[in-house]
Amino acid sequence: MSVSGRHIVVTGGGSGVGAACAKAFAGKGATVTIFGRTEEKLIAQSMPYQVCDVTDADAVSTAFEAARTVSGPIDVVIANAGAVESIPFAKMRPDVLQAMLAVNVMGVSNVWQAALPDMRQSGWGRMIAIASTAGLRGYPYVSAYCAAKHAVVGLTRALGKELARTGITVNAICPGFVETPMLERSIDNIVEKTGMTREQAAEALKADNPQGRFIQPKEVADTALWLCSDGAISMNGQAVSLAGGEL
């Protein structure tokens, strides 16, 4: 199966993994619409876009309708938009947990719900969440993020079973630390709080990966492409670890 001619929506498409996914799918002939909150970053990708906050269900619905009007029904949704905040659990305020759940869980649910009618109509669709190894194990100081990513994995597993006979598959990709602007901010945070050098902080994070390296955005994009292929037709409700053997 080729994604050529199919309409792909990628959230958080202005940079990092989202931008890599958008470029990979466009390179295979797909029509790609990227969503994001910062118009300047979206414009830089030189492809159709919608400015949208995925935590706002009404805004998501409006953005999907606009994307549909321009490029037709949606075939694939890559729910990539996310955020992480590092704080000890004892100091975590309720609003921190709510913010992590809003973008990392509700953001996924909102875009999947918006795309579902098109996929049901065509009898084919691919829902992909960019989750994290934090959805499969725990990490200290990011308990809210881990809770949110675990919820994404649970949503993926439940919805995969619910839609299993519809021609739609639902999967989550769970990479380890990916070399993106989000990772750079995490390294900055470690340096600020521990006094480590940037090199020391990076090596500390790489230590979780048995291969001793950071995952590259293209690896995540290539995995998403594979999940849309005929070879992955039985991949449904899965949390695919992309972490060099960490899990």
Q: What does the domain layout of the chain look like in residue ranges?
A: 7-176+216-240, 179-214
For residues 173-187, give the mean pLDDT.
Answer: 91
**Span 67-123, pLDDT tens digits:** 999 999 999 999 999 999 999 999 999 999 999 999 999 999 999 999 999 999 999
Residue 1 has pLDDT above 70, yes or no: no
| Top CATH class, 7-176+216-240 | alpha beta
Look up the pTM and report it: 0.94
pLDDT at 193 over 90: no
Q: Which residues are known to be catalytic?
A: 145
Q: What tokens were used for 58?
A: 């009404």
Point out the least confidently predicted range of 24-28, 110-114, 153-157, 185-189. 185-189
| Burial annotation 110-132 (CB, 10 A radius, 16+ → b, else e) | bbbebbbebbeeeebbbbbbbbb
What is the side-by-side strand order in the sheet with 238-242?
49-51, 31-36, 7-11, 76-79, 125-130, 168-175, 238-242
